[in-house]
Amino acid sequence: MKFTQGIKMALSSIRSNKMRSILTMLGIIIGILSVIVLVGIGQGTTKNIQSQIEGLGTNLITVNIRSYRNKPITDDEITQLKSGGFIKEIAPIVSSSSTVKAGTKSESYSVEGSVPAYEEIRNVSIDTGRFISENDITNRYKVAVIGTDIADTIFGTRDVIGKTIQINRNNFTVIGLLKSAGSSSSGSNDEKVIIPISTAERLFKTTRISTFYIEAASSDNVTNAYNQLNTFLYQKFGSTDDYNVFNQTDLLSTVSTTTNTLTMMLGGIASISLLVGGIGIMNIMLVSVTERTREIGIRKAIGAKRRNILIQFLIESVVLSVLGGIIGILLGFLVANIVSKFTSIAVSISPTVVLLSFSFAMAVGIIFGMYPANKASKLKPIDALRYE
């Protein structure tokens, strides 16, 4: 007996008992639907939180040097650190709180001297004008990139390119305006003045670089970069009191663990309904075997083997569960769309979950169909024929 023949038989048997088949499938449909939607909600939430944290720069590691009993970190050491492969960029910062003045208005802001890599590392973007270039650093140009709040406060306009500001009574030309980034826990990102590091060293009369912003090569490399930095700094300073290395991966992994647990819990609850659906299939198949005892007898009398009967009933339960699974997946997509459209809950359905729940439905059909199918196949033809 061929497989397609078996499927045809199963489908005609399912069709001939429409109401019952639909009710049986309903268990699987609801099970798969809830798995898809609940896991989707869990994963959507995880993604949401992750991207929020990543927006702050998960690849970012901050190094603060507290003590300079030893030599400062040299360019060679920076190059050497970057060659490890875990670190993409390093931006040294020389910063100081300074008076920024334009015309008659003055205000105290944090002025940071840095390098072009700062732009990428701190994930800042330019609204108008340009960022600091290597050329600015080499020539110690007195140029500044300023945040929108400063433009608003000092100039009262955002049309600031080419205008002059005074930092600690030195004239600087504004070459760029940063895009507004809003504020975070570390304060407003729009109250920043960024100038070339060489200019800053001269302006603040220091060569001590107290802070480094470091970008890991990827989010997977943050831990490696973190360890590399710690090793390097410990070798250099010989004491963990002299420096501090901070990254956001710890926060991210804590949040991820929490949301993953949430997803698994939701999936687990949904799986229970799938299990109940499976038991429903087994129940109906057992009833079906009893009802069709005579049919089984006839089939056996005219030459069906145990295997044929077993496969016939097994295909029937698998077709039921797979049909239910497909309908459940389609409904799952529908419900997920409705949820994400009409609520603020993010739903993200991954192909893995779809594939997994589909295989799960199929497995449910096989596992819960096996017992009734085996029971059917074991019937003796004479007993089955005698059954009224």
Partner 1 sequence: MIRIKNLFKIYEMGEDKVYALDDLSLVIHQGEFTSIVGPSGSGKSTLMNIIGCLDTPTSGEYFLAGEEVSKLSDNRLSEIRNEKIGFVFQKFNLLPKLSALENVELPLVYLGVSAKERKRRAEEALNSVGLLSRMKHMPTQMSGGQQQRVAIARALVTDPQIILADEPTGNLDSKTGEEVLKILQELNKKGRTVILITHDSHVAKSANRTVEIMDGKIHEHEGAVK
* Least distance to partner 1, CB of residue 384, Å: 10
* Least distance to partner 1, CB of residue 327, Å: 24
Looking at the Cβ atoms of 105 and 378, the one nearer to partner 1 is: 378
Looking at the Cβ atoms of 142 and 292, the one nearer to partner 1 is: 292
Longest Cα separation, the chain: 110
Q: Alpha helix (H) ranges present in the chain?
A: 3-15, 18-55, 75-82, 117-121, 134-138, 148-150, 197-203, 222-237, 249-291, 293-301, 306-342, 351-378, 381-386
* Least distance to partner 1, CB of residue 281, Å: 21
Provide the binding-site residues for partner 1, judged by CB under 8 A.
1-2, 5, 12-13, 16, 294-295, 297-308, 380-382, 385
Question: Would you state the structure tokens that stand for residue 167, as one six-digit string?
Answer: 């930092």
* Least distance to partner 1, CB of residue 309, Å: 10
* Least distance to partner 1, CB of residue 289, Å: 15
Beta bridge partners of 101: 106, 166
- Identify the burial level of 121 via C-beta atoms within 10 angstroms of its C-beta, where 0-12 means exposed, 13-18 middle and 19 or more buried: buried
Cα gap 328→322, rounded to integer Å = 9
Looking at the Cβ atoms of 9 and 49, the one nearer to partner 1 is: 9
* Least distance to partner 1, CB of residue 301, Å: 6
Measured in degrees and rounded to the nearest 5, phi and psi for residue 194 equal -115, 130
Identify the three-state secondary structure at position 240.
helix
Looking at the Cβ atoms of 129 and 381, the one nearer to partner 1 is: 381
Looking at the Cβ atoms of 8 and 179, the one nearer to partner 1 is: 8
Residue 59 gets which letter from DSSP?
Answer: T
* Least distance to partner 1, CB of residue 13, Å: 7
Beta bridge partners of 92: 212
Shortest CA distance to 38 belongs to which of 300, 309, 262, 326? Answer: 262
Looking at the Cβ atoms of 334 and 382, the one nearer to partner 1 is: 382
Looking at the Cβ atoms of 115 and 373, the one nearer to partner 1 is: 373
Looking at the Cβ atoms of 147 and 297, the one nearer to partner 1 is: 297
Measured in degrees and rounded to the nearest 5, phi and psi for residue 100 equal -110, 130
Torsion of CA 324, 329, 332, 333, to 10 degrees: -150
* Least distance to partner 1, CB of residue 42, Å: 45
Parallel/antiparallel/unpaired status of strands 192-196 and 105-114: parallel
Residue 147: CB atoms within 10 A of its CB come to: 24
